[in-house]
Structure 1
Amino acid sequence: MDIAIFTDTFTPQINGIVTSINIFRKELTDMGHNVYVVAPKVTGYNDKADNIVRYFSISYMFQPQYKIAFPYSLTVPKLSDLKLDIIHAQTPFSMGLLALYLAKKSRVPLVYTHHTFFDGYVHYIPLNRKLLQKLSVLGSRTYCNHCTLVLTPSHPMRDLLMEYGVKEKIVVLPTGIDLESFTNNKLDNNIRQRYGISKSTKLLLYAGRIGEEKNLDFLLKSFRIVANRISDVHLLLVGDGPLKYQLIDLAKELDIASQLSFTGYLPRSEVISCCASADLFVFSSMTETQGLVLLEAMAAGTPVVAVDALGVSALIKNGQGGCLCEPSTEIFAKG
């Protein structure tokens, strides 16, 4: 089949949606399907892979690393000429609207994966939060009800969409991981040395966006409790985002700055190596629809302590692979 994936975020960006797209794209291609990716253009970046269609885009005013594509252009007829069998949207926004338009025009099934709990991200728009949360529910419901099939990466996210009033069929399809990436010969064993962390130090790891929606102030306050009990412990935060400098100030205020490091964005292979080097993976987000990075940590052999919320709740059962905690710093610190 000829399948087109429409997304507002793709390489060179590093996030869970991009990882999911690349995993499904590879597996579908290996099964013999012809897969296209339609995404915003990123200035200065040239795709190495085939079948990538890029649209002119501008940076989102409040988060420059995110792009807003202008999907209505002279390339639309070219996409129509592809004679697609399935259109798969990863977003309800700019590229998702193009996907919806083409699906209706070509009478092609539209599949939509609902990756994001949008309620948890409204703080990036400087308007009334309650109003934006209502609009996010309305927008999610409206888009889903225009699709042939809706996919969610977890049962809690499916249940939430049903509460929103989605009437179309919803199927739970989690993103898997490529276990070959976790073999010892592909791991970097010098992660601790690179960041000045001794082998005897207990290393706690967080990987993900450094943003308000990840509940990282909670994580730092929990870590302070741990650091007061265990002197030789370090927290490594992999990723970047708008909250970084606020967290640096908070770490100084909590007197844990010397026991905390930020790496910035790292390639996925290095994130996996960080997971393998850590003693514990800690995750405080309450907005995850799946939490793919938790699967990666567990695949690397690292136990997880996470807040029991939304998609994360579906990943860890009966203490297998880790521990789920109430959103209390004392309880989280105890693990």
Structure 2
Amino acid sequence: MKVAIFSESYLPYLNGVSVSIRILHEELTRRGHEVWIYAPHYRGYQDPYPTVRRLPSVYTPFEPDYPIALPFAPALWREFRTLGIDVVHTHTPFFTGIVGARWARRLRIPLVSTYHTLYEEYLHYVPRVVPRAPVRRLLRWHLRRYYEGANAVMTPSDIGAEVLRKYGVRKPITPIRNPVLPFPEVSKAEARARLGIPEDVWMLLYVGRMAPEKNVSVLLEAMPHIVRGCPNARLWLVGPGPALESLRAEAEARQLTAWVQFTGAVPRDEVSLYLLAADLFVFPSVTESQGLVLDEAQAAGLPCIVANGGGAPEAVDYGQTGLVVKPTPEAFVEAVLYLTRHEAEREALRQRAIRKRETLSVPAVVDRILQIYESARQTVGSPAAVSISK
């Protein structure tokens, strides 16, 4: 099968969407499928794969590290027409995703689309001079129109499906959680040794973008109280983002530099080491549609403490693989200190969390995605959408 993937988020930009696309690309290729990827152009980046195509793009002052693809690429369109693509899979409903949908319609290619992100939670990136109410209405209208035009719709969580239904998307929507990559055969002690983390540290870990919607300040406010109850506690904040420098400044202002470590962007393999080295995973964001990193943390054997909001609580079976708490510093302090003091319960959470390695293995998830592709190919020309059992 020849698959064309279109996404605003792709390498070298690292987030849950780009990671899930890389995993899908590699597994489909391993199985003998031909995968073409269309994404924005990043200055100075060389793609390691010959079937990646970059659309002409522009940079904006609002997200200087996140280029916006232009919806016109005549040379790429001429090539696309000759490839014999069987399925188009879009991962974003905006500039690049619109190109993918338009090209699929022109050539009557089945269109599959994944709704990854709760976009209304990101409206703070819209310039303040623009009224929010009409932007919200326009966003909902566009999302309804876009996903109604697909032959098959997927979302990584039930909350994402509920949001699309609220917008008026009538087609069946199939929740399929994103896959989790295998971890290297490295012990906790070895991971800490490689990262230079002392063995006696009680390591709290957050991995994700440093952005306002991620609520990371909650963790900074909680840390002095956590350290009072657990003097060896330290917090690692792993990831890049537009709020990185402001969060560093906040940590300095709160005199947290001895307890909080910012890594900035790190290679994907190194992220795995941080997950294997940690004791607890703390996640204060209430804007996730899935929170892929939560599945990765659990697969690494980390009990998770997550804020009750968005799709993150779906990733954690309360009391089984982690705790769901209010998105407040006080709630995180209480939960962290509780787990530091109850070793048996913490170990039980860890053992149950590790089972994610089987249920969300790359082969298992990609099997289900391929079912969606095959079903979509059978519906071209029909207004009926497709779905498979959860």
1:219 paired residue number: 219
2:87 paired residue number: 86
* SS state at 2:137 partner: helix
* SS state at 1:72 partner: coil
1:36 paired residue number: 36
The answer to whether residue 102 in structure 2 is matched with residue 98 in structure 1 is: no
1:169 paired residue number: 172
What is the one-letter code of the residue matched to 1:7?
Answer: S
Check conservation: 2:116, 2:156, Cα contact below 8 A.
yes
Shift of the 130–253 alpha-carbon distance from structure 1 to 2, 3 Å rule, reads farther
Check conservation: 2:115, 2:155, Cα contact below 8 A.
yes
The answer to whether residue 313 in structure 2 is matched with residue 313 in structure 1 is: yes
Alpha-carbon distance, 1:334 to partner: 1.2
Deviations 1:63-100 (Å, cap 9, x if unpaired)? 11111112312221211111211100011111111111
**Distance between the aligned counterparts of 2:76 and 2:271, measured in 1?**
36
Deviations 1:131-153 (Å, cap 9, x if unpaired)? 43333222221211111111100
What is the one-letter code of the residue matched to 1:164?
Answer: Y
What is the one-letter code of the residue matched to 2:220?
Answer: L
1:120 paired residue number: 121
Alpha-carbon distance, 1:282 to partner: 0.6
**Distance between the aligned counterparts of 1:125 and 1:333, measured in 2?**
33
TM-score, normalised on structure 1?
Answer: 0.93
1:144 paired residue number: 147
**Distance between the aligned counterparts of 2:84 and 2:143, measured in 1?**
28
2:185 paired residue number: 183
Moved more, 42-51 or 129-138: 129-138
Shift of the 309–329 alpha-carbon distance from structure 1 to 2, 3 Å rule, reads same
1:259 paired residue number: 259
**Distance between the aligned counterparts of 2:228 and 2:192, measured in 1?**
29
What is the one-letter code of the residue matched to 1:234?
Answer: R
1:107 paired residue number: 108
What is the one-letter code of the residue matched to 2:147?
Answer: C
Alpha-carbon distance, 1:267 to partner: 0.9
Deviations 1:10-41 (Å, cap 9, x if unpaired)? 11111111110011112222332211111112
**Unaligned segments of structure 2, at least 5 residues:** 336-390
* SS state at 1:104 partner: helix
RMSD: 1.8
Alpha-carbon distance, 1:185 to partner: 7.6
Shift of the 99–284 alpha-carbon distance from structure 1 to 2, 3 Å rule, reads same
Q: How do 1:67-86 residues align onto structure 2 when only pairs under 5 Å count?
A: 67-73=67-73, 74-86=75-87
**Distance between the aligned counterparts of 2:45 and 2:246, measured in 1?**
30
Alpha-carbon distance, 1:191 to partner: 4.7
Shift of the 134–332 alpha-carbon distance from structure 1 to 2, 3 Å rule, reads farther
Shift of the 138–227 alpha-carbon distance from structure 1 to 2, 3 Å rule, reads farther
**Distance between the aligned counterparts of 2:172 and 2:103, measured in 1?**
20
Check conservation: 2:248, 2:262, Cα contact below 8 A.
no
Alpha-carbon distance, 1:224 to partner: 3.0
What is the one-letter code of the residue matched to 1:48?
Answer: P
**Distance between the aligned counterparts of 2:245 and 2:39, measured in 1?**
30
Q: How do 1:195-214 residues align onto structure 2 when only pairs under 5 Å count?
A: 197-214=197-214
**Distance between the aligned counterparts of 1:231 and 1:60, measured in 2?**
44
* SS state at 1:222 partner: helix
Q: How do 1:7-18 residues align onto structure 2 when only pairs under 5 Å count?
A: 7-18=7-18
2:280 paired residue number: 280
The answer to whether residue 69 in structure 2 is matched with residue 66 in structure 1 is: no
Check conservation: 2:6, 2:91, Cα contact below 8 A.
yes
What is the one-letter code of the residue matched to 2:174?
Answer: V
Alpha-carbon distance, 1:3 to partner: 0.7
Moved more, 269-278 or 57-66: 57-66
Alpha-carbon distance, 1:130 to partner: 3.7
TM-score, normalised on structure 2?
Answer: 0.81
**Distance between the aligned counterparts of 1:42 and 1:256, measured in 2?**
35
**Distance between the aligned counterparts of 1:27 and 1:215, measured in 2?**
33
Check conservation: 1:307, 1:325, Cα contact below 8 A.
yes
What is the one-letter code of the residue matched to 2:254?
Answer: L
Check conservation: 1:227, 1:256, Cα contact below 8 A.
no
**Distance between the aligned counterparts of 2:241 and 2:318, measured in 1?**
33
**Unaligned segments of structure 1, at least 5 residues:** none
Check conservation: 1:40, 1:57, Cα contact below 8 A.
yes
Q: How do 1:238-257 residues align onto structure 2 when only pairs under 5 Å count?
A: 238-257=238-257
Moved more, 128-137 or 10-19: 128-137
* SS state at 2:58 partner: strand
What is the one-letter code of the residue matched to 1:236?
Answer: W
**Distance between the aligned counterparts of 2:167 and 2:310, measured in 1?**
15
Percent of aligned pairs with the same amino acid: 35
Deviations 1:196-247 (Å, cap 9, x if unpaired)? x422121111111000010111222222321232222211100111212222
Alpha-carbon distance, 1:275 to partner: 0.9
* SS state at 2:258 partner: helix
